[in-house]
């Protein structure tokens, strides 16, 4: 199989209907002591990540669902995220979103469109190379005003059967801030955990975001859901994808 960049499952996070679940009454960020998400990238700014893929050699992946490289192999490659500036969400719309171009080993593979506002960092659209642009309702990826422990969920309807069951379902949990080493320096990062079922697979994904720097770390694990005759199920991990920021460049003005 061909290798999928570590952001491929970013597609599954861009969801239509929203159902926010919050523990307790909502309070202001100042009252809760929650730090605001701050991010103002410069046009041409780039982030380079080292990506490591580990696969179960005995696993058989559903076609098009996980496309991480030669079956049964482990691989390492570089992924680059480049900020292109504000761009129209659609050709016939005045709405604009922050556009990031994603490439793997120098080959452009997709574009992501995000919104930065008082809610935090929100996904708005994405477009695979050579494919159609998929626009969705804004989906919070990194919350700006939620206390640690906040949870929310999203669903993506199947475009071929909009009245049927959702194609993807994702649950989000905000863990607050954590300390981690990035490029030899200690950083304070927002951590968000994302989980859900995609077909026969279960996804567990963790994102770490540093204010005024960007996404610095990601970990994705895929589990095969095994059903038994007793109607019980167990999970077997079949793929692990980890990426860490190794280079960050801001263009000279």
Q: Report the alpha-carbon distance of residue 116 to residue 189 in Å, rounded.
A: 17
Whose structure tokens read 């570089």?
A: 78
- Contacts of residue 230, Cβ cutoff 8 Å, sequence gap at least 6: none
Tell me if 155 sits within 8 A of 40, measured CB to CB. Answer: no
pTM (predicted TM-score): 0.78
Q: Report the alpha-carbon distance of residue 248 to residue 49 in Å, rounded.
A: 9
Query: For residue range 188-239, what is the model confidence (pLDDT) as tens digits?
Result: 999 999 998 876 788 899 999 999 999 999 999 988 877 655 555 567 888 8
Query: For residue range 43-101, what is the model confidence (pLDDT) as tens digits?
Result: 999 999 999 988 887 776 655 555 554 444 568 889 999 999 999 999 888 999 999 99
Q: Report the alpha-carbon distance of residue 205 to residue 143 in Å, rounded.
A: 16
Main-chain dihedrals φ then ψ at residue 143, nearest 5 degrees: -75, 145
Pairing of strands 185-198, 74-88: unpaired
Tell me if 121 sits within 8 A of 211, measured CB to CB. Answer: no
């Amino acid at each position: 199989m061909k290798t999928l960049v570590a952001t491929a499952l970013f597609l599954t996070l861009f969801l239509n209907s929203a159902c926010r679940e919050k523990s307790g009454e909502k309070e202001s960020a100042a009252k809760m002591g929650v730090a605001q998400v701050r991010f103002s990238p410069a046009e041409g700014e780039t982030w380079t990540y080292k990506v490591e893929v580990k696969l179960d050699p005995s696993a058989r992946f559903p076609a098009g669902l996980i496309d991480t490289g030669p079956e049964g192999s482990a691989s390492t490659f570089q992924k680059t995220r480049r900020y292109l500036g504000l761009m129209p969400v659609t050709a016939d719309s005045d709405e604009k979103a922050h556009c990031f171009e994603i490439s793997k080993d120098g080959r452009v593979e997709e574009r992501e469109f995000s919104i930065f506002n008082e809610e935090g960092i929100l996904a708005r659209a994405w477009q695979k190379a050579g494919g159609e642009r998929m626009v969705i309702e804004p989906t919070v990826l990194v919350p700006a005003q939620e206390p640690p422990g906040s949870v929310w969920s999203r669903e993506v309807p199947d475009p071929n059967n909009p009245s049927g069951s959702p194609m993807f379902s994702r649950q989000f949990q905000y863990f607050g801030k954590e300390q981690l080493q990035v490029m030899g320096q200690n950083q304070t990062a927002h951590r968000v955990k994302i989980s859900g079922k995609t077909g026969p697979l279960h996804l567990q994904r963790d994102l770490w975001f540093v204010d005024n720097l960007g996404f610095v770390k990601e970990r994705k694990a895929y589990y095969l859901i095994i059903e038994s005759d007793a109607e019980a199920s167990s999970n077997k991990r079949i793929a692990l994808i980890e990426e860490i920021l190794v280079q960050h460049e801001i263009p000279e003005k």
